[in-house]
Chain A
Amino acid sequence: DQQVKQNSPSLSVQEGRISILNCDYTNSMFDYFLWYKKYPAEGPTFLISISSIKDKNEDGRFTVFLNKSAKHLSLHIVPSQPGDSAVYFCAASAWNSGNTPLVFGKGTRLSVIA
């Protein structure tokens, strides 16, 4: 059973608009969440993270929102740019339970159309 779910395998967004990528998790012990971005022929690269003591973290055009009661997080990219086209992976960990390894979702492929 998947503990981290990205239910949308793909998303297309017009350049300049907002991209919203969603992630749901089932393990209530998860308290640290990360987003990774992956271009073709490259490994994933860290994008942004959030711990469960916060409900929002912002870094430039990227904002991650965490709704603990719904066990849901989302990544907002605004404005979206063609260079943002990539696969985005959500990952989670139970940090306070002892540095557990990251659990990744399947990824969502974002296409930003010029």
Chain B
Amino acid sequence: ETGVTQTPRHLVMGMTNKKSLKCEQHLGHNAMYWYKQSAKKPLELMFVYSLEERVENNSVPSRFSPECPNSSHLFLHLHTLQPEDSALYLCASSQGTGSVDTQYFGPGTRLTVL
């Protein structure tokens, strides 16, 4: 069983749709992250959760809504997205939120907004 899984792997949605991305980690970690990777841009941190509480939110638009029901699951709810939101969305987990805690990444969800 791989450490961090993400579903779906690919998603195409219209600007008026509502969809959710799911991440699950099987590593017993306490921290989970959402990152956005756009073409030719650095990996951007979106949200950090530690023990199911949000500890970091890098000024992400409200059309992205995270949810962390428990330490193993993380969701990213999407609604009224824009074409520029098309990107690879990566989930990661780590034991703690310190930078020395190695982050383990999932394979990502490739999102296309039409």
Contact = CB atoms under 8 A, between A and B. Distances in A.
A43 B99 contact: no
Interface string A9-43: 10000000000000000000000101010000111
Contact of B99 (A41, A99, A105, A107): A99
Interface residues of B, number: 27
The bracket for how many chain A residues form the interface is 20 to 34
A65 interface: no
Given A43-B90, A46-B102, A102 B45 contact: yes
A101 B98 CA distance: 7
B106 interface: yes
B99 A101 contact: yes
B76 interface: no
B95 to A, nearest CB: 12
Interface of A: 2, 4, 9, 32, 34, 36, 41-46, 49, 89, 91, 93-95, 99-107
